């Protein structure tokens, strides 16, 4: 018979999978509490929730979601990071942390109702964030408009310079006459 703690944890994990668009799976072994706390603090800035969960609970939840392929990610302790915005930022943070802590491995991700491996996590990390993409779009939209404005400005400036030269010529002709 499952314990009350396991039932509560199971419900919490299920809620996190329902509420969030993605879940990154990482495994670690013999990592200090301070290191895990540091990672959680970094990830909390990205609007995510992280938790260490038991293999059996994770397998039950993923089996219910028809994502049995995630079993291969469960080695050592399982660290799951849930989020709903910008998976690129989360994957970058996890990979950066794994570079400094060789006992931490970002194994895979549950994204768009599919299980993806570590290569997909690396590809996500290489993508620009939503904010960077929006900036690029705005700059590309702004570029032609800026070109038109500058061209019109040059035409008007040339016209004013020409009028000024005509004025000077007429003044010079008026003084000689």
Please count the structural domains in the chain: 2
113/31 same-domain check: yes
CA distance 23 to 16: 9
CA distance 150 to 123: 39
116/134 same-domain check: no
116/152 same-domain check: no
15/67 same-domain check: yes
43/89 same-domain check: yes
119/143 same-domain check: no
164/139 same-domain check: yes
18/68 same-domain check: yes
105/71 same-domain check: yes
Cα dihedral angle (137, 22, 29, 122), rounded to 10 degrees? Answer: -30
Strands 49-53 and 22-28: unpaired
Q: How much is the pTM?
A: 0.70
Residues of the chain with pLDDT under 70: 1-2, 177
**Which two structure tokens, joined as six digits, stand for 118?**
């570590």
Could you read off the pLDDT of 67-103 as tens digits, one per residue? 777 777 777 788 888 988 888 888 888 888 888 888 8
**Which two structure tokens, joined as six digits, stand for 28?**
């670690």
Instruction: Give residue 2's pLDDT.
Output: 65
49/123 same-domain check: yes
CA distances to 22, 24, 88, 159 from 167, in Å: 70, 73, 62, 12
Residue 79 belongs to what domain range? 4-127
């Amino acid at each position: 018979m499952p314990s009350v703690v396991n039932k509560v944890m199971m419900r919490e994990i299920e809620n996190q999978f329902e509420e969030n668009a993605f879940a990154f799976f990482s495994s670690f072994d013999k990592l200090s509490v301070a290191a895990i706390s540091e990672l959680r603090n970094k990830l909390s800035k990205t609007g995510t929730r992280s938790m260490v969960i038991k293999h059996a609970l994770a397998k039950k939840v993923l089996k219910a979601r028809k994502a049995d392929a995630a079993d291969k990610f469960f080695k050592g302790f399982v660290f799951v990071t849930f989020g709903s915005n910008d998976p690129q930022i989360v994957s970058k943070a996890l990979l950066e942390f794994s570079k400094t802590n060789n006992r931490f491995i970002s194994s895979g991700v549950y994204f768009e109702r599919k299980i993806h491996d570590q290569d997909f996590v690396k590809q996500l990390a290489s993508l620009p964030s939503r904010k960077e993409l929006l900036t690029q779009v705005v700059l590309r939209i702004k570029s032609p408009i800026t070109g038109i404005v500058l061209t019109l400005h040059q035409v008007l400036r040339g016209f004013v310079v020409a009028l000024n030269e005509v004025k000077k010529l007429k003044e010079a002709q008026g003084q000689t006459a």
